[in-house]
Structure 1
Amino acid sequence: MASHRRSSQPGLTHSARVTVLSAAAATAAAALGAAPAAVADPGDGPDSSRATVDRLFQEAEKATEQFNKAGEKADRLREDVSHTQDSVARGQERINRMRGALGSVAGAQYRSGGMDPALALLLSADPDSYLEKAATLDRISERQATALLDLQQAQRRLGQERAEAARDLVELERSRAAVAHHKRTVERKLGEARRLLDSLPPEDRADFDRASRSGRGQLPELSGLAPSSARAAAAVMAARNAVGRPYVWGANGPSGFDCSGLTQWSYAQAGVGLPRTSQAQRYAGRQVSLSEARPGDLVAYRSDASHIAMYMGNGQVVHAPYPGAPVRYDPVGMMPVSSVTRV
């Protein structure tokens, strides 16, 4: 869903110079479904329309990554809240047991009448026996004092855990609201792109459709440099098998993908856990130069890393481009490269 403009990377073919996103706009319109056609400005030509579609897809992709980030945070907070609530419940049970034990001791003392120890010694028929009992009672009193201290500490910890759970619940609601906000932004941007595409003359849309098929189904040879590791090789094979599956924003497989969802899913098939967003994935390993890229390396695009692909060798990447364009191969220089990461 990005503005696929050529970077200044040397050695690219003429096909790499095509604005890939714009050229595939017609298929995006079909995938997004029918909508009332917008009326194009008579002063807008095909170039202006392509630029607008590029911008809308790029903005929608950035919003998609924010949607993924907010969703990932919400999932983590849900797990944290669940664990904290379990801990609070266990802590409350422990406090109840401690209170029960202390209550039993207090009840026994009450039933004894709370007689002054000196008077009890004077009235005792067996002073030696009384002194032994008194020493035992002193030890019991010490244990009771320790138990009271433990109870107080447990109550403080429980209060802290309850406060933590309350804060997490508030943050969870904020994350849910952020998810909904970014979802609305994505849908609005894609809707604008759809209406613009529907307003274009049929011949322009046909040109876009023809160009959008470039790169689809071309399997780059993995000759030359091999993947850097067995797990990278496994991720490469998973990504190759995903070619042709649809772009679905916010999805991470197996039936559909967005850009970071594809790379996350591919490495998951190799037993490697990647973060959900392209911005986080760019730091999920060691960064290398583009000239050192090997199959399986992650190629992030634009300065904000709002798009990501997997290098496949022979100057090609595989990626999930944008709505309407399935997972496919494109030249590595289709957009400005911001980083290459070896997982």
Structure 2
Amino acid sequence: MASHRKQPRTRALATAASARGALGISSAALASLTLLSQSAHASPTDPPDRNSGKPSLAEVQKRVDALYRQAGSATQKYNAAKEATGRQRDKVNRTLDQVAKRTDRLNDARRALGRYAAAQYRTGGVSETATLLLTEDPQQFFTQRHLMNRLTGSQKKAVTDYEKQQRAAGSRRAEATRQLARLSASQKRLKANRSEIRSKLSEARELLSKLTAEEKARLAEIERKKRAEARQKAMERAEAERREQARKERERQRERQRERESDTGDQQDGPDSDTGSDTGSGTGTGSGDTSTPDSSYAAKAAKVLGFAKQQLGKPYVWGATGPNSYDCSGFTQAAWKEGGASLPRTTFDQVKVGTKVARSALRPGDLIFFYDDVSHVGIYTGDGQMIHAPKPGTNIRFESIDTMPFHSAVRPA
């Protein structure tokens, strides 16, 4: 029994172990991918030959950015496939446990049938009449016949139980086969996503390696200016939004003041009590009702941002969830865990969590998603800025939300 139960379990574990081995990524390989620009070898410092077909610096930058974008999208698909593979492997292991238990029951039923079959074989070779004629004690014969009649009912039950256990075991084995097929498909997707990421990053590394030291310095300066311009643009937009909100609030206050003055003028008696009633009503339905949820979210966001700031400088590594490195969604997942919210693993799922908020209504702690395929996410920190894990070769940092095309934003809690 034990050997029968362990055999499929061993195969499943071997399959899972081999899958982990096939899909595992060494820390050295991950580290090399995060240092693309640093590890690029400098080319000769001669100026590029315009007739050699060598791409311009702008073309290199555009291509590298596109490759990073594609790698980022593939990373989210990898994360989704990895989660699916883990869930499927757990289901397979549970099903194999059920198969082993069903097999034990089937073996018990088979042994019961074997005992009855052996008894029948031992007594079935002589007819009942001959047995009666040869027996020395007819009463003993009838006693044995009575026992056999009783055993026949048990035998029928044994046969029924065997058939039942046989069907159940067959059903579990069939389900295990289907689940193993789904696990295999998940592993193939995981492998394909991993290969795509590595291919994109390898191509980006190759492009960067062909740049001269001067070109790499110029490229870094272009990147710095681009980030500075985006930061300035975001700050200007945030300031304009604050002015607009302040203008609307002043208008609301003037409107309330006009309403109070109108109510006071129309009141013929008891103006003092009316004023007191109006003040109480304003307190009950105004900022008093909204301060509690606001302060609650602010407290959670403070924990999120506190954790996020502690991760500043840690490297982006695709597929990583901390504590030493992160990809974009692994970073936001870990940060919001500190705020008491359990986020899904991928950007594709995180964008569905919580309450959607407009760009003009962003508050610190909100998640901001970018690109049409929702393949990147950051945490809003205020004044048009966010903190995020940008891309391979970079570290977690503050950056303007205008550095990438805005898609949407959500408030997780």
- TM-score of the aligned structures, taking structure 1 as reference length: 0.73
Residue 333 of structure 2 aligns to which amino acid in structure 1?
Answer: Q
Correspondences of 1:287-302 after superposition (within 5 Å): 287-302=356-371
Cα deviation, residue 164, structure 1: 2.5
Correspondences of 1:82-93 after superposition (within 5 Å): 82-93=93-104
Correspondences of 1:135-214 after superposition (within 5 Å): 140-198=151-209, 199=211, 201-208=215-222, 210-211=224-225
Q: Work out whether residues 96 and 176 of structure 2, in 8 Å CA contact, stay in contact via their aligned partners in 1.
A: yes
Q: Work out whether residues 378 and 388 of structure 2, in 8 Å CA contact, stay in contact via their aligned partners in 1.
A: yes
How has the CA–CA distance of structure 1 residues 269 and 141 changed in structure 2, closer, same or farther, with 3 Å as cutoff?
farther
Q: Which position in structure 2 is the counterpart of 1:30?
A: 37
2:107 paired residue among 96, 99, 103? 96
Residue 67 of structure 1 aligns to which amino acid in structure 2?
Answer: Y
2:66 matches 1:48 = no
Q: Which position in structure 2 is the counterpart of 1:306?
A: 375
Residue 59 of structure 2 aligns to which amino acid in structure 1?
Answer: S
For 2:300 and 2:149, how far apart are their aligned partners in 1?
Answer: 66
Q: Work out whether residues 77 and 172 of structure 1, in 8 Å CA contact, stay in contact via their aligned partners in 2.
A: yes
How has the CA–CA distance of structure 1 residues 125 and 206 changed in structure 2, closer, same or farther, with 3 Å as cutoff?
closer
How has the CA–CA distance of structure 1 residues 191 and 87 changed in structure 2, closer, same or farther, with 3 Å as cutoff?
same
2:334 matches 1:323 = no
Residue 160 of structure 2 aligns to which amino acid in structure 1?
Answer: L
How has the CA–CA distance of structure 1 residues 116 and 294 changed in structure 2, closer, same or farther, with 3 Å as cutoff?
farther
Residue 221 of structure 2 aligns to which amino acid in structure 1?
Answer: D
For 1:108 and 1:232, how far apart are their aligned partners in 2?
Answer: 76
Q: Work out whether residues 37 and 195 of structure 1, in 8 Å CA contact, stay in contact via their aligned partners in 2.
A: no
For 2:326 and 2:49, how far apart are their aligned partners in 1?
Answer: 34
Q: Work out whether residues 35 and 195 of structure 1, in 8 Å CA contact, stay in contact via their aligned partners in 2.
A: no
2:330 paired residue among 243, 257, 261? 261
Q: Higher mean Cα deviation, 268-277 or 247-256?
A: 268-277
Q: Higher mean Cα deviation, 145-154 or 206-215?
A: 206-215
Cα deviation, residue 178, structure 1: 2.7
For the aligned residue pairs, the C-alpha RMSD in angstroms reads 3.7
2:78 matches 1:64 = no
Structure in which a larger fraction of residues adopt helix: 2
Q: Secondary structure at the match of 2:297?
A: coil
Structure of greater relative contact order (alpha carbons < 8 Å, 6+ residues apart): 1
Correspondences of 1:107-126 after superposition (within 5 Å): 107-113=118-124
Q: Which position in structure 1 is the counterpart of 2:314?
A: 245
Residue 30 of structure 1 aligns to which amino acid in structure 2?
Answer: S
Residue 181 of structure 1 aligns to which amino acid in structure 2?
Answer: A
How has the CA–CA distance of structure 1 residues 287 and 120 changed in structure 2, closer, same or farther, with 3 Å as cutoff?
farther
Q: Which position in structure 1 is the counterpart of 2:251?
A: none
* Aligned length in residues: 306
Q: Work out whether residues 98 and 151 of structure 1, in 8 Å CA contact, stay in contact via their aligned partners in 2.
A: yes
Q: Work out whether residues 106 and 169 of structure 2, in 8 Å CA contact, stay in contact via their aligned partners in 1.
A: no
1:83-104 Cα distance to aligned partner (Å, 9 max, x none): 2222211211111112222322
For 1:285 and 1:203, how far apart are their aligned partners in 2?
Answer: 42
Q: Secondary structure at the match of 2:106?
A: helix
1:50-80 Cα distance to aligned partner (Å, 9 max, x none): 3222211111111222222222222222222
Cα deviation, residue 227, structure 1: 6.1
Q: Which position in structure 1 is the counterpart of 2:409?
A: 340
Residue 340 of structure 1 aligns to which amino acid in structure 2?
Answer: A
Gaps of 5+ in 2: 1-33, 232-290
1:202-250 Cα distance to aligned partner (Å, 9 max, x none): 54134146448867xxxxxxxx965637655543332222121111112
Q: Work out whether residues 234 and 270 of structure 1, in 8 Å CA contact, stay in contact via their aligned partners in 2.
A: yes
Q: Work out whether residues 228 and 294 of structure 1, in 8 Å CA contact, stay in contact via their aligned partners in 2.
A: no
Q: Work out whether residues 197 and 205 of structure 1, in 8 Å CA contact, stay in contact via their aligned partners in 2.
A: no
Residue 197 of structure 1 aligns to which amino acid in structure 2?
Answer: L
Q: Report % sequence identity.
A: 36
For 2:300 and 2:119, how far apart are their aligned partners in 1?
Answer: 67
Residue 49 of structure 1 aligns to which amino acid in structure 2?
Answer: V
Q: Which position in structure 1 is the counterpart of 2:84?
A: 73
For 2:364 and 2:128, how far apart are their aligned partners in 1?
Answer: 85
Q: Which position in structure 2 is the counterpart of 1:10?
A: none
For 2:119 and 2:62, how far apart are their aligned partners in 1?
Answer: 85
How has the CA–CA distance of structure 1 residues 137 and 247 changed in structure 2, closer, same or farther, with 3 Å as cutoff?
same
Gaps of 5+ in 1: 1-26, 216-223
- TM-score of the aligned structures, taking structure 2 as reference length: 0.62
Q: Work out whether residues 301 and 335 of structure 1, in 8 Å CA contact, stay in contact via their aligned partners in 2.
A: yes
How has the CA–CA distance of structure 1 residues 274 and 202 changed in structure 2, closer, same or farther, with 3 Å as cutoff?
closer
Correspondences of 1:221-232 after superposition (within 5 Å): 228=297
How has the CA–CA distance of structure 1 residues 284 and 150 changed in structure 2, closer, same or farther, with 3 Å as cutoff?
farther
Q: Secondary structure at the match of 2:360?
A: helix
How has the CA–CA distance of structure 1 residues 210 and 330 changed in structure 2, closer, same or farther, with 3 Å as cutoff?
closer
For 1:290 and 1:130, how far apart are their aligned partners in 2?
Answer: 93
